[in-house]
Chain A
Amino acid sequence: MDTSSVTAEGSACISERQNSILTTGKSKSSIHCADDSLAGSVSQRACVFCGARVVLNPVTDAAHLVHGPIGCATCTWDIRGSLSSGSEMYRNSFSTDMKERDVVFGGEKKLATCIDEIVGKYHPPAIFVYSTCVSGMIGDDIIAVCKAASERHATDVIPVESSGFLSGNKVVGYRAAAIALMQLIKPKVGETVEKTRKLNFLGEYNLGGEKWVVERYLREIGIEINVAFTGDSTVAALKQAPGACLNLVQCTGSMHWVAMSLEQEFGTPYLDVNFFGAENTAGSLRKIAQFYGEPEMIRRTEALIEREQARIQPVLQKYRKKLAGKRAAIYVGGAFKAVAIIHQLKELGMEIVLTGTQTGKKEEYDNLSTLLDPGTIIIDDANPAELEKFLLEKNVDVMAGGVKERVLAYKLGIGFVDHNHDRKDGLAGFDGAVRFAREVYVTTCTPVWSQLKATGRRA
Chain B
Amino acid sequence: METVATPKVKQVNENQCQQCMPLGGVVAFKGIENAMVLVHGSQGCSTYMRLTNVEHYNEPVDIASSALNEKQAIYGGEANLHKALDNVIRVYAPKFIGVLTTCLTETMGEDLKRLVATYRLNRGITAVDIIPVATPSYSGSQTEGFWAATRQLVAYYAQPTERHQGINVIIPHISPADIREIKRIFGLFGLEYTMLPDYSMTLDRPYGGRYQKIPPGGTKTRDIARMSGARATIQFGLTCPDNLSPGLLLEQEHGVPLHNLPLPIGLQNMERLVETLEELSGLSLPDILERERGWLLDGMADSHKFNADGRPIVYGEPEIVYAFSSICMENGATPVVIASGTRSNRLTGLLATLLADADEQPVILEETDFAAIDEAGFMAEANIAIGHSGGKFLTERRGIPVIRVGFPIHDRTGGQRILSAGYTGTLAFLDRFTNALLETKYDSYRELRKEEMGIREGA
Contact = CB atoms under 8 A, between A and B. Distances in A.
Contacts of B227: none
Interface string B132-175: 00001111010000000000000000000000000000000000
Nearest to A391: B211
B37 to A, nearest CB: 10
B59 A458 contact: no
A94 B18 contact: no
A7 B93 contact: yes
Contacts of A76: 48
Contact of B104 (A93, A94, A102, A133): A133
A403 B13 CA distance: 27
B282 interface: no
Interface stretch (A40-48, A230-238, A284-292, A438-446): A40-48
B379 interface: no
A404 B58 CA distance: 9
B138 A103 contact: yes
A193 interface: no
B104 A164 contact: yes
A38 B87 contact: yes
B84 interface: yes
Contacts, number: 259
Contacts of A310: none
Contact of B91 (A41, A43, A102): A41
Nearest to B142: A71
A296 interface: no
Contacts of A77: 15-16, 390
A134 interface: yes
Contacts of A314: none
B62 interface: yes
Contact of B210 (A40, A42, A132, A411): A411
Interface string B335-356: 0000001000000000000000
Contact of B209 (A95, A96, A452): A452
Given A1-B86, A38-B67, A133-B102, A117 B206 contact: no
B52 interface: yes
B91 A14 contact: yes
A40 B64 contact: yes
A168 B43 CA distance: 5
A210 to B, nearest CB: 21
Given A70-B20, A412-B209, A452-B207, A137 B87 contact: no
A385 B91 contact: yes
Interface stretch (B68-76, B176-184, B296-304): B68-76
> Which of A70, A102, A412 has the most chain B CB atoms inside 10 A of its CB?
A70
Contacts of A166: 69-70
Contacts of A96: 11-13
Contacts of A113: 11-12
Given A118-B12, A165-B70, A168-B67, A3 B125 contact: yes
Interface string B196-215: 00000000011111110110
A177 interface: no
Contact of B87 (A41, A69, A74, A457): A41
B13 A70 contact: yes
Contacts of B104: 133-134, 137, 164-165
Contact of B59 (A47, A74, A137, A407): A407
A403 B51 contact: yes
Interface string A31-53: 00000111111111111111000
A411 B211 contact: yes
B18 A74 contact: yes
Nearest to A402: B51
For A49, A72, A164, A404, the residue with the greatest tally of chain B CB atoms inside 10 Å of its CB is: A164
A99 B138 contact: yes
A9 interface: yes
Contacts of A147: none
Contact of B85 (A7, A8, A40, A404): A40
Contacts of A407: 54, 58-60
B263 interface: no
Contact of A1 (B22, B73, B89): B89
Interface size classification for chain B: 35 or more
B60 A75 contact: no
Given A40-B86, A43-B47, A133-B104, A71 B127 contact: no
B221 interface: no
Interface in A415-459: 452-453, 456-459
Contacts of A14: 87, 90-91
Q: Is the interface of B mostly helix, strand, loop or mixed?
A: mixed
A424 B127 CA distance: 47
A122 to B, nearest CB: 10
Q: Which of B12, B18, B73, B136 has the most CB of A within 10 A?
A: B12
B209 A453 contact: yes
B43 A37 contact: yes
A369 interface: no
A50 B141 CA distance: 20
Contacts of B91: 10-12, 14, 40-42, 383, 385
B211 A114 contact: no
Contact of A47 (B13, B44, B63): B44
Contacts of A133: 41-42, 73, 102-104, 107
B13 A69 contact: no
Contacts of A99: 138-139
Interface string A131-174: 01110011000000000000000000000000011111000000
A38 B18 CA distance: 30
A167 B70 contact: yes
B323 interface: no
Given A40-B84, A458-B210, A48 B93 contact: no
Contact of B45 (A164, A167, A385, A406): A164
Interface centre among B73, B80, B127, B390 (most CB of A within 10 A): B73
Nearest to A389: B211
Contacts of B92: 10
B364 interface: no
A159 to B, nearest CB: 17
A334 interface: no
Contacts of B44: 45-50, 72, 164, 168
Contacts of B84: 39-40
A110 interface: yes
B64 A41 contact: yes
A1 B123 contact: yes
B15 A39 contact: no
Given A40-B86, A70-B141, A71-B137, A103 B107 contact: yes
A3 B50 contact: no
Closest 6 CB pairs of A and B: A47-B44, A71-B20, A40-B84, A40-B87, A459-B208, A168-B43
